Structure 1
Amino acid sequence: MIETYTVEGGGGVPLSVMAAGPRDGPAILFIHGFSQSCLCWMRQFEGALAERYRLVAFDLRGHGVSGRPERTASYTAGRLWAEDVAAVIAGSGIDRPALVGWSYAGFVIGDYLRRFGQEGIAGINLVAATTLIGTDEVPALLGQGLLANSPTMCRDELAANIAATRRFVRACSARPLPPDWHETMLAFNMTVPPFVRRALFSRAEDFDDVLSSIRLPVLLTHGTADDIVLPAMTDRIARAMPAARLSLYDGIGHMPFVEDQPRFNRELAAFVDAT
C-alpha cells in the first residue's frame, strides 16, 4: 500500500512524498530527474522491492504536486536542494537510506553530500546521472533527445512546449513505452511550468570535488542507448570514483528502471543488501 504525505523542504517549500514497504526495512530514497515526478518510480513501488524495503520518493520542488516557488534562486541554491533531501529523510523517519538518483538528481545528491556529508547515507545508486552543468564540456555529454528539445520545453508557448515535451518523453526510452505509461509520463512532465525548467538549466555546478570524496558504496547504472544523458557522463563519473561499480544496460535508453525493471530491481536489491 502506497502512502502519501507532505514535508516542509528548504525555504518552507511543501514537498509531496510517497512511501511503501515495511517501516523497519532497509530504506531506499528515490530522487527523480528534470521535468519528471516521483511517479516515474511506480514500477519499483508496485513490485517486489516494496515487500522487503522501505521505499520513499518525492516530487522535487517545482515538480509534480510539490510547491513551485517562482524565484529562480529557489532552484539555483544548492543549500535548498540539500535541505529538501534532509527534510524528506527526517520527515519519513528513515535511517541511513540508500539514495537512488536519476538524471538531474545527480545534482541534488551532490548538493546534499556537499552540505550534510555522507554519514547519514548507506550508499548511492546514480542512474544516468548528471553531475556537471553550465560548462563548455557539458554538451558533449548530453544527447540530442535533451539538447534538441529542452530549449523549447522552457518556452511559455504551450503548443510548442507540448510538442517538444512529447519528443523528449519519446527520447527517454530506446523503444516505445507501453501507451498507458507513455501517456502518464507525458502528463506529469507537463505539470512542470516553463519557468521551473528554465531555472533548473540556469545552474552552473561541478561536483567533481564531491565525487572524489565519496567513500560510500556506489553503483553507476546507465543504458548504452541513452539519448538524454550520454554514457560518456557516467564514464566521467566513474573516473572520479574508481571504486564504484559500473552496470551498463545494452540497448537500453534513459530509463533502465522502466525499460528493464526486473534487472534494475534485482541489482538495486543486491546493492542495498551489500551496504
Structure 2
Amino acid sequence: MTLLSIRTDAGVFDARAAGPPDGRPVLLLHGFPQTGLVWRRQIEALAAQGHRVVAPDQRGYSPGARPGRPEDYRMGLLVEDVVAIGEQLGWAAFDLVGHDWGGAVAWWTAHAHPGRVRTLTVVSTPHPGALATTLRTDEDQRSRSRYMIDWREAPATEERMLAHDARDLRGFFTGAVPDDSADTYVRHLSEPGALTAALNWYRAGRPDGAIGVVHVPTLYVWSTGDSAFGAAAARETRRWVDGPYRFETLHGVGHWVPEEAPEILGRLLLAHLRAHGEH
C-alpha cells in the first residue's frame, strides 16, 4: 500500500491505495471509530486481482479535513466528499464499498449519484430507509440504536471514551480487531479534536432530504453478532433496492466484519465485482 493526500475543496484527505493505476477503481469507506486501515486485507485482495483501490480517512478522521462544527458533518457534505475524492482521482465511475458510517454514506451516495457508482457493497449498515422503518416498528432495533442518541452529549462522551487510557474506546475492539489495528485507531482518535470530529457524525442532525430506493447492483453483508443492527433492519433492506441484489448473512461474526471475517468478505466482494463488470 501507498499513502495518498487527496486535495478537495473541503480539505485534504489522507488515504491508503494499492493496485495498478489503470485498474478498475474501487473506493472503500470506513466507519466509527476507525480509519481506512480497516480495509487493509480487502485492499490487498482487490489489488491482487488488478483493481485500483483507495481507502480514504473520511471527514474529521483526516486532520486536513476536520471542520469544527457538528453541522459540518451533515450527510449531504459527506456524500459531496465521496464525489470530490472520485473526481480528484480521475474516476468517472467507481465501485463503492462502505462499513458502519461508511456504509450509510455509501447508501446515500448510490442514491444521489447512481451514474458514478458502478456497484455498491455495504457491510453491516442497513439501508437508511430500512433502519428508519424498524426504528418505528421494532423495539429490538430501538434498543440497539440508543447509543446514537447518548453519544450526542458533548464533551461528556469524549471524556468517557478517552478516560483511563481510552479504556472505553479500546473496549469496542477487544477480542474482535487485531491489537495493532486497535492501537492505531485509539492513537489516531486520541489526537486533539479527532474524537470530537468523529462523534460529530452523530451530532450533525437529520439528513437534508429523504432517501429512496437504490438502483445500482448491490451486495449487502450483515452478521448475526452485530450489536448495532438487528435482523429486522437487515431483512427490510431488500425493499429498498430495485437493482440486482445479493444479501449475505455471516453467522457468528460481530460488527467489525472487515477485520473479523476478512477472507470471507474479500471473496464476496470480488464475486460481486465480477458479476457486475458493466451496467
Structure 2 length normalisation: TM-score? 0.81
Distance 1:185 1:139 in 2: 32
Specify whether residues 23 and 34 from structure 1 end up closer, same or farther in structure 2 by C-alpha distance, changes over 3 A only. same
- The structure-2 alpha-carbon separation of the partners of 1:221 and 1:146, relative to structure 1 and needing over 3 Å to count, comes to farther
Partner amino acid for 2:199?
Answer: R
Q: How big is the shift at 1:207?
A: 8.1
Partner secondary structure for residue 79 of structure 1: helix
State how far apart, in whole Å, the 2-side matches of 1:134 and 1:234 are.
12
What percentage of aligned pairs have identical amino acids? Answer: 24
Question: What is the aligned counterpart of 2:28 among 27, 30, 35?
Answer: 30
The Cα offsets for residues 160-196 of structure 1, whole Å up to 9 and x where unpaired, read as 22259644554457x4433223222322343433255
**SS class of match (1:62):** coil
2: CA distance between counterparts of 1:119 and 1:158?
Answer: 39
Number of equivalences: 267
2:124 is equivalent to residue 128 of structure 1: yes
Find the counterpart in structure 1 of residue 266 from structure 2.
265
- What amino acid is aligned across from residue 197 of structure 1 in structure 2? L
Q: Deviations over 1:94-121 (max 9, x none)?
A: 3421110111123322443454x21121
How far the C-alpha of 1:43 sits from its partner, in A, is 2.0
- Once residues 92 and 66 of structure 1 are traced to their aligned partners in structure 2, the CA distance between those partners, rounded to angstroms, is 17
Tell me: CA distance 1:268–1:166, structure 2 relative to 1, closer, same or farther (3 Å): farther
What is the match of residue 194 of structure 1? 196
| Contact 2:35–2:57 (CA under 8 A) maintained in structure 1 | yes
5+ long unaligned stretches in structure 1:
none
Sort the Cα spacing of 1:26 and 1:61 in 2 relative to 1 into closer, same or farther, 3 A. Answer: same
* Alpha-carbon distance between aligned partners in 2 of 1:205 and 1:256, rounded to the nearest angstrom: 26
Give the stretch that moved more between structures: 222-231 or 184-193: 184-193
* Contact map agreement 2:107 2:122 (CA 8 A) in 1: no
Aligned-partner Cα distance in 1 for 2:116–2:154: 35
- Structure 1 residues 146 and 249: alpha-carbon distance in aligned structure 2, compared to 1, 3 A threshold: farther
Gapped runs of 5+ residues in structure 2? none
Asked if structure 2 preserves the Cα contact closer than 8 Å seen for 1:134 and 1:205, the reply is no
Q: 1:141 and 2:141 equivalent? A: yes
Distance 1:35 1:71, change over 3 A: same
* CA distance in 2 between partners of 1:262 and 1:50 (Å): 14
1:26 and 1:272 in contact (8 A); partners too: no
Q: Which residue of 1 aligns with 2:98?
A: 101
Q: Could you tell me whether the CA contact under 8 Å between 1:19 and 1:54 is conserved in 2?
A: yes
Contact 2:124 2:255 in 1 (8 A): yes
Match in the other structure for 1:228? 228
Paired position in structure 2 for 1:75: 73
The CA distance in 2 between the partners of 1:95 and 1:15, in whole Å, is 19
Residue identity in the other structure for 1:193: L
Query: Where does residue 252 of structure 1 map in the other structure?
Result: 253
Displacement of 1:153: 8.1
Judging changes above 3 Å, is the alpha-carbon distance between structure 1 residues 246 and 114 closer, same or farther for their aligned structure 2 residues? closer
Give the 4+ runs in structure 1 shifted more than 6 A.
Answer: none
Amino acid of the residue matched to residue 20 of structure 1? A
Q: 1:103 to 1:163 in 2, by over 3 A?
A: same
Q: TM-score, normalised by structure 1?
A: 0.82
Root-mean-square deviation (Å): 3.2
Q: C-alpha distance in 1, partners of 2:216/2:144?
A: 33
